[in-house]
Amino acid sequence: MSGRTVLGIDTSNYTTSASVVRDGRVIANLKLPLTVGEGQRGLRQSDAVFAHTKNLPEIMDAAARVIGGDKVDAVGCSASPRDGAGSYMPCFLSGRAAAHAAAAACGARVYEFSHQAGHVTAALYSAGMLDLLDSGSPFAAFHVSGGTTDILLVTPGGGEMKIERIGGTTDLNAGQLIDRVGVMMGESFPCGPALERLASGLPFTEGIKISVRGLDCSLSGGENMAGSRFEKYGDRRDTAAYTLDLVAKTIDALTYEVRERYGALPVIYAGGVMSCKRMRGVLGKRDGVFFAEPEYSADNAVGVALLAYRKLTEGE
């Protein structure tokens, strides 16, 4: 059946996002970043909720212009950080409230998902691998961002997607490491793009020691080592390359461990950190691994819109 339009809304800790999906195709991926003060390394949840409240009218107006006179058949939103009982962050209340208000005004259905499920789905869509959700076969996903460094075993079936965390960081998230090092060197939050620019053209850093035990990793030591490196040499480019290469080497080692334990599963990389082309140069050497384009790696509402569309059209 054709002619179905779905609105997606996501309010992560640093981006207000809306997406429009028509007949299973993404026609709009809209984003407004939350403002973080100079020298700060993030936002408190209360500040994020306030920032989303200011951003939502603008992002919803932009989505309405894309939708035009079409009927909205469903609204999907991120209601929690992860799947599972007890997963909660206040910032998602903003998007959930907007989703229910929009759906009530349109006479549409509301479907709620986790932010993490949205990330995985958006990455699959961008990589041309959305069929994995219909395969019934498990695959692995890495969700790597400022708030998350998780290894996920994803098992699709019966129109649902079971997501199980099987490993990841035991302390600092990869995005936190990158942002802390960047702010230390005077860059503005978020610091990933700045560190990638600084590291551009430099060879891979040799002699990096990582902390990986099975499917778990520790990244807090990387912050100390990057700080020591910068203090010793005062080289911003070298420190940026070291930081990104440490994360890439860690994720690559974890990918190896996933394959050792679960076999040659397809692996999809999602999350804002996975936008980094330098890291892709390391991770992309393995077979059967897939990346999203940067606009679908970083926070977005595309995934929840696509999941809502799938729910809406089940059995058609």
Q: What are the pLDDT digits (tens) for 21-44? A: 999 999 999 999 998 887 777 788
Instruction: Identify the pLDDT of residue 1.
Output: 41
**Which residue reads 């395969």 in tokens?**
135
**pLDDT band per the 50, 70, 90 thresholds, residue 165:** very high
CATH architecture, domain defined by 5-127+297-312: 2-Layer Sandwich (3.30)
pLDDT value, residue 315 = 64
**CATH number for region 167-291:** 3.30.420.40
Is residue 91 very low, low, confident or very high in pLDDT (cuts 50, 70, 90)? very high
Boundaries of every domain in the chain:
5-127+297-312, 167-291
Domain 5-127+297-312 and domain 167-291, same fold? Reply is: yes
Average pLDDT over residues 249-257: 98
Task: Give the model's pLDDT for residue 13.
Answer: 85
Q: Which residues of 62-90 are buried (b: 16+ CB within 10 A; e: fewer)?
A: bbeebbeeeebbbbbbbbbbbbeeeeebe
* Percent of the residues in the chain that have a pLDDT greater than 70, as a whole number: 99
Cα–Cα distances in angstroms (integers) from residue 55 to residues 7, 40, 70, 107, 199, in the given order? 16, 20, 23, 24, 33
| pLDDT tens, residue by residue, 176-227 | 999 999 999 999 999 999 999 999 999 999 999 999 999 999 999 999 999 9
As a whole number, mean pLDDT of residues 244-269 equals 97
Q: What is the pTM of this model?
A: 0.94
Q: What percent of the chain clears pLDDT 90, i.e. is strictly above it? A: 91
Q: Which residues contact residue 238 at a Cβ distance below 8 angstroms, ignoring those fewer than 6 apart?
A: 202, 205, 229
pLDDT beyond 60 at 2: no
First to last CA, the chain: 6
